[in-house]
Structures are given as C-alpha cells and as structure tokens.
Amino acid sequence: MADSNVLIAEIREDVGKGASRRLRRQGKIPAVLYGGHKDPVTLSLEHDPLVHAAQQESFFSSIQVIKVEDGRTQKVVVRDMHHHPFKQQIMHLDFMRVSAKEVLRISVPLHFDGEEQSPAGKTSGVVIQHQLTEVEIAALPENLPEYLTVDLSELDAGDAVMLSEIVLPKGVEIPALAGEDVTDSVVANAVHVRESQGTGVAAAEEAAAAEAELGIGAELETEEEQAEAEGDAEAAADEAEDGDADKE
C-alpha cells in the first residue's frame, strides 16, 4: 500500500456559498468529509500544499490522513476535486472516510512494463496503444496498491492485453471481472500503422493544426469572458458543496 500523506485541515462552522468564496480569497480550499456512518464535516485546507500533493499520481489512489488542530486524525480517500476552468486553482474537495475493516473501491493508475522489449515494440510500423490508463479495484485499505502493472513484454503485432490478464496483488479484486456480469476490456493492443497515417509526431501536428483552426484551447481573450468563466467555476463548486452536505 502507498504511504499515507498527512493533510492539515481546520473544521469550519461558517458554511454556504459566501463562506466558500471568502475561503478561496484567503488561499484556502473548502472541503467536505463524509461516509463511515457519520455525519458530514465541513473543512478548509491550505491551497498551495494541496496543489503540490495533487500533482503526485498516488494522491488519488492512496489513503490520505486528515489532521485537525486538536490532533484528531482520520484516514480518507479523495473522492472528487473541482478545478477552476483556467487557473491552477482547486475549488473544492470531497473526502470519504476509510475504515480498516471495509472494502474500498477506488481507481488506481496502470503502469505499462516491457513495451520496448516486446515483439511489437521492436517491429517497424507497429504502434502499441494504451486503451486504459486506470482501473477500479476493490480491496481492504491494508491491501491497497498504489498502481497496477501491465506486462507488455510478450505483446506481438495484432495482439491485445485484456483486463483479466493483469496480475493482481493479494487481496485485490477488479469489480468489473467479478459477479455475473463480467466485463473484460482491452487494456493495450498493438496495431499496424498505414504509411498514409504518418508518424505519431505528424499525427500530433495535424491534430494541433486542426484544433488551432477550430479555435480549440484558445486563451480567454476578454475580462468579461474570464469573469464569466470564473463565476461558472464558483457556482459549480458551490453546487457540489451543497450536494455534499446531504451525504452520509
């Protein structure tokens, strides 16, 4: 299991849209802690340390520890995070309590190993595609892996690696493969690329040119547009907080 990160938080009594906006102006993030058969608790956390922590891949797939000012701690997982549409700003966070005795369902990233050494990786004109980048697993907190490894070392041109072929650590299950309605999926495959399709670099350049022509990804050009987008982000975060207040 990945090491836990300690997140310093404050319990806040002042709730509502206005209170959340004041927190954001102070460089803090409004958050809600729920689950574990307890009432929801509203929190606030310092923004900048959270931005740094959230840049780590394991932040969303490992157990975090919330610590409040009186020394109490609670193990949690991140269930949702709302971002500002164009600023590097976290608008709101949802945390769910974790119990050592309850199976946790969470998405973890996939790491691909042996790609360059595989027959497909050594074959000219063959591209290995990663069809999935993460997968939902079920495990007790003590068995929770930081990621799952996908072995591509035997992948040949035209072949595929299925979800059911991933070697799982002890105590870990993939819900999609359990029960009566089993849903297996392609995790990675190796396909031949036609000469007319060009290289990956050329394809990327063509895609970028198409986006530029359509105006996709263009910067917001006016203060009015920026204000409107910021207002939409505030409203979305406030709406999420209002909904979280009802969670158990």
Q: What is the CATH number of the domain that holds 142?
A: 2.170.120.20
Lowest mean pLDDT among 10-24, 110-124, 134-148: 10-24
- Residues 127, 207, single domain; the answer is yes
In this prediction, residues 165-189 reach a mean pLDDT of 95
Q: Is residue 48 part of a domain?
A: yes
Catalogue the long-range contacts made by 231-236 (C-beta closer than 8 Å, 24 or more residues apart): 232/85, 233/82, 233/83, 233/84, 233/85, 233/91, 234/17, 234/20, 234/21, 234/24, 234/91, 236/82, 236/91
- Residues 16, 87, single domain; the answer is yes
Q: Is residue 142 part of a domain?
A: yes
pLDDT grade, residue 2 (50/70/90)? very low
Domain closes at, from 99, 132, 161: 99
Q: Is residue 231 part of a domain?
A: no
Share of the chain above pLDDT 70, in %: 77
Round the average pLDDT of the chain to a whole number and report it: 86
- Residues 202, 112, single domain; the answer is yes
- Residues 108, 94, single domain; the answer is no
- Residues 68, 31, single domain; the answer is yes
Q: Is residue 232 part of a domain?
A: no
Number of domains within the chain? 2
Q: Is residue 244 part of a domain?
A: no
- Domain ranges, residue 114: 104-213
